[in-house]
């Protein structure tokens, strides 16, 4: 029983980290109907920025994540405003190709700038943990989990209660009507993509404090963001959190009781089963409403 509780606790904490990775991906998908294949590259770039901040000036990663978020916001805004917006009305296949191209450029750029060596952010409290009975809770993973919850609820509050957030939601509902109301759709799209990239940068920083990273892991995080977003419900911020927790639990349990090669297979099996009985995801609604559901 103690082992099961430990594995479950680890799964929940890992799920929170996956939710942090996926929430920005889900935001872009819900508002712009764009599957951003460069999302994982933004996650890894955020990890490198925080790592550089610690190496240069000794900045703690929980402060460095704000630097990563700021840099990635402007990177994401630039890509959307001056590149992706040019083909945003085109077929989905075109946006997939473009974001995949951005992904490849970012990965090769990171390989050139930082090399392909594995890195991680070391902190003085990285090995600290709490004991709850016989269950050990690593401090850094707990902080990342809490951060995922706070960001999810803060993002929902931002979208629902601020003028900018309402503009984002209105553009996701009906871009034409939003333009008639004076909303600049190109700016709103770029702002949304920038926020998504900033959240990816924060997630990357947290990942760097927990495990090693290198440019080749970008694809892994894009895939996990996709799975979590679909499992929770397209465009649903709460869905990203619920989906991340479920995938974290499933992978943790599978890793404990099955061989390593089965872990990803079981996670995708759960996704398939959920979609059979709930095609719109765990907390999603019909697809036409999913794009604006918060």
In 83-214, alpha helices (H): 92-114, 139-161, 163-173, 175-180, 185-210
Q: How many other β-carbons are positioned within 10 Å of the β-carbon of residue 289?
A: 15
CATH number, domain at 87?
Answer: 1.10.3470
Domain residues for the domain of 229 are: 2-290
Sign of CA dihedral 199, 205, 208, 214: positive
CB 284 within 8 A of CB 233: yes
The mean pLDDT of 243-255, rounded to a whole number, is 90
pLDDT classification of 89: cutoffs 50, 70, 90 = confident
Q: How many domains does the chain have?
A: 1
The mean pLDDT of 247-274, rounded to a whole number, is 84
pLDDT classification of 287: cutoffs 50, 70, 90 = very low
What would the pLDDT profile of 94-132 be if each residue is shown by its tens digit? 999 999 999 999 999 999 999 889 999 998 888 888 888
Out of 16-25, 64-73, 202-211, 267-276, pick the least confident: 267-276
The mean pLDDT of 233-254, rounded to a whole number, is 86
pLDDT of residue 1: 61
The pTM of this model reads 0.92
The CA-atom distances, in angstroms, between 68 and each of 6, 84, 105, 289 are 32, 22, 19, 32
């Amino acid at each position: 029983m103690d082992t099961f509780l430990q594995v479950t606790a680890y799964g929940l904490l890992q799920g929170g980290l996956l939710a942090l990775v996926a929430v920005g991906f889900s935001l872009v998908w819900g508002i712009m109907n764009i599957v951003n294949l460069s999302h994982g590259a933004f996650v890894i770039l955020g990890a490198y920025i925080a790592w550089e901040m610690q190496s240069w000036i000794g900045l703690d990663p929980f402060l460095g994540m704000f630097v990563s978020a700021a840099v990635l916001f402007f990177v994401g805004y630039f890509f959307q405003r001056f590149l992706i917006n040019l083909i945003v009305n085109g077929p989905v296949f075109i946006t997939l190709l473009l974001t995949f191209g951005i992904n490849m450029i970012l990965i090769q750029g990171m390989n050139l700038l930082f090399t392909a060596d594995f890195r991680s952010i070391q902190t003085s409290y990285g090995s600290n943990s709490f004991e709850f009975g016989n269950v050990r809770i690593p401090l850094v993973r707990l902080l990342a989990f809490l951060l995922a919850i706070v960001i999810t609820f803060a993002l929902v509050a931002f979208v629902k209660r601020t003028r900018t957030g309402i503009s984002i939601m209105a553009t996701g509902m009906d871009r034409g009507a939003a333009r008639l109301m004076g909303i600049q759709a190109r700016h709103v799209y770029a702002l949304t993509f920038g926020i998504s990239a900033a959240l990816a940068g924060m997630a990357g920083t947290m990942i760097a404090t927990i495990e090693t990273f290198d440019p080749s892991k970008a694809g892994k995080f894009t895939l996990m963001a996709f799975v979590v977003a679909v499992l929770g419900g397209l465009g649903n911020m709460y869905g990203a959190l619920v989906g991340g927790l479920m995938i974290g639990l499933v992978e943790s349990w599978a890793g404990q009781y099955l061989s390593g090669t089965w872990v990803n297979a079981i996670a995708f099996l759960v996704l398939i089963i959920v979609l059979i009985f709930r095609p719109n995801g765990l907390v999603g609604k019909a697809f036409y409403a999913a794009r604006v559901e918060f």
